[in-house]
Amino acid sequence: MTKISALQQARATYQPKLPPALINGAGVNVEAGAPTSAVADAERISELFNATFGSPRVTFHAADDKPASKPLTVGVILSGGQAPGGHNVIAGIFDGIKSLHPDSRLYGFLRGPDGLVKNQYMELTANLVDAYRNTGGFDMIGSGRTKLETDEQFEIGRKNCEKLGINALVIIGGDDSNTNACMLAEYYKRNSIPIQVIGCPKTIDGDLKNEYIEASFGFDTACRVYSELIGNIERDANSARKYWHFIKLMGRSASHITLECALQTQPNAAIISEEVESRKMTINELVDSLADIVANRGEKGDDFGVILIPEGLIEFIPEVKSLITELNDLLAHEAEAFREINDPDNKIQFISSRLERDSSYVFSSLPHGIQLQLCLDRDPHGNVQVSQIETEKMLAEMVGLKLRARAAAGTYKGKFKAQTHFFGYEGRCAAPSNFDADYCYSLGYTAAALIGAGKTGYMASVRNTAKPSQEWTCGGIPITMMMNMERRHGKDKPVIRKALVKLNDAPFQYFVRYREEWALNSDYVYPGPIQYFGPSEVCDQISKTLELEHRREV
């Protein structure tokens, strides 16, 4: 038998909380709102999704009588990067469909969307689901990044679902995976294929959110893990007083994780990519601003500190962003020729000679290692794999060079020694915090209720989450409502719009209000590890982002 830790054993007994609408099971009363549109490019989106576009938003209310339901057979897919709480979404779906009919069955497709296409699956029985309740990771069925987007894949998926008698699929993923869920729902509905498709908002990056999706699951837990580690490093920095720590944090595009961790730990600096972009900063200006922070603390004798860097930064520096857009098109169109080149210098030469003048200049000004990292294979969605670009090392090196130049000119007298870190995978599979355990279970249960209500092309939505769970509400929103057209792989495609950090919103404004004090002083906060048991004010905390966005105070 697999050995489990004492904490996992105790945690298995935790019963996640549900919104009141689901307290009597997933058979709910459904209140439908007005028809919906898209966040932008509505005309084009409505043409592309003419079967699912415009559906109303739905809100659930507890039903006194259990509505009659036939047994449901549901397939579930985990898609994209791991995020704490995925197993609880599955447990929520399982309990939800069983509440609709005890003979309902749940199948898990293995290793992501690929499992649907390759017909690799397992039945998720009560014993199996029980063994994974409240655990981190996606290892129950595995995840993958295959993009489900062609009619051929949809047809194979249909046949595989039909063999198992599946009448609904739940796709648990981020913006790209839910875009694909929407395409699948559209295809099945347009062709009168009786398979419903429901999405659930997952990603530690926190960038799949809007008025109706208050958070993507996993963000809360991952940020708590990173903040614990940052707090430990801050305490070490404050004790040893000899290093500047450059810490890169995951978050492929948006800087929500970095901002949340900054709010939790109060470091000396935190770069927010969206601000860099809006101020049109160059790399040189960014490095200058960090060097100023180091120098100002150095004047007080504090030759140490902590700087947080978002993983996606490089794509938000306007001059590098233009370069990457050109690179994406170039690598998409000349993929084969590029793949045949083995020598790294020749690869760089191949790229440089094909770029426009400005981009070629920026490309040549970057360190050799970063040039190569920018040319690595794109992910299946056409994105640069930013987790492999070592911006923390690049910035530490460039700040060091800048300070040396200042020292030579007699304008800097401090000492500068840097340590670099990257926190990403450390947080993606942590056991979910109480917030994520409850939120995920509720999302899964809501997905089951959406299936029971006959919906397709919807995303499960649980709201009012800054309040105690007795005040949470739930329902579904049409996925087309979140869509717009964007350029991907050199083509315009319909995608869910990413939620970047909004510079006028309360979390960023709070950070701006305090960051100068935090830059100069050592106002560090040490959050410590996630607590699963104990006083509610310790274990039922919500993220500062959620708190500021929805309660407008911290």
Q: Quick check: 61 and 193 in contact, CB under 8 A?
A: no
Residue 458: CB minimum distance to ligand FBP, A: 20
Among 387, 464, 473, 531, binds ligand FBP (CB under 6 A): 387
DSSP letter at 281 equals: -
- The single residue listed with the structure tokens 């809360």 is 220
Q: Which is nearer to ligand FBP, 95 or 274 (CB)?
A: 274
Distance CA 206, CA 547 (A): 14
Does 250 interact with ligand FBP (rule: CB under 6 A)?
yes
**The token pair that represents 224 in the structure block:** 């708590």
Q: Residues 95, 114, 205, 302: which is the catalytic one? A: 205
Does 386 interact with ligand FBP (rule: CB under 6 A)?
yes
- Measuring CA to CA, which residue among 212, 199, 220 is closest to residue 443? 199
Give the interface segment with ligand FBP, choosing from 15-23, 133-141, 199-207, 319-327 (CB under 6 A). Answer: 199-207
The kind and range of the H/E element at 58 are strand 56-62
Contacts with ligand FBP, 284-313, as mask; x by CB under 6 A: ---------------------------x--
Q: Confirm whether 205 is a catalytic residue.
A: yes
Does 220 interact with ligand FBP (rule: CB under 6 A)?
no
**The token pair that represents 115 in the structure block:** 């499992």
526 phi and psi angles, rounded to 5 deg: -110, 95
Distance CA 271, CA 258 (A): 8
How far is residue 440 CA from its own chain's centroid?
14
**The token pair that represents 470 in the structure block:** 């007795």
Residue 204: CB minimum distance to ligand FBP, A: 5
Residue 220: CB minimum distance to ligand FBP, A: 14
The site for ligand FBP, by CB under 6 A, has a size of: 16
Q: CA angle at residue 275 from 272 to 280, to 5 degrees? A: 130
Interface with ligand FBP in residues 428-457 (CB under 6 A): 428
User: 18: Cβ–Cβ under 8 A, 6 or more apart, which residues?
Assistant: 438, 441, 442, 445, 469, 472
Give the interface segment with ligand FBP, choosing from 89-97, 198-206, 334-342, 528-536 (CB under 6 A). Answer: 198-206
Residue 113: CB minimum distance to ligand FBP, A: 12
Interface with ligand FBP in residues 263-282 (CB under 6 A): none
Distance CA 21, CA 370 (A): 51
Give the interface segment with ligand FBP, choosing from 79-87, 123-131, 153-161, 292-300 (CB under 6 A). Answer: 79-87
Does 83 interact with ligand FBP (rule: CB under 6 A)?
yes
What residues act catalytically?
Answer: 205
Contact footprint for ligand FBP (CB under 6 A): 80-81, 83, 174, 202-205, 250-252, 311, 385-387, 428
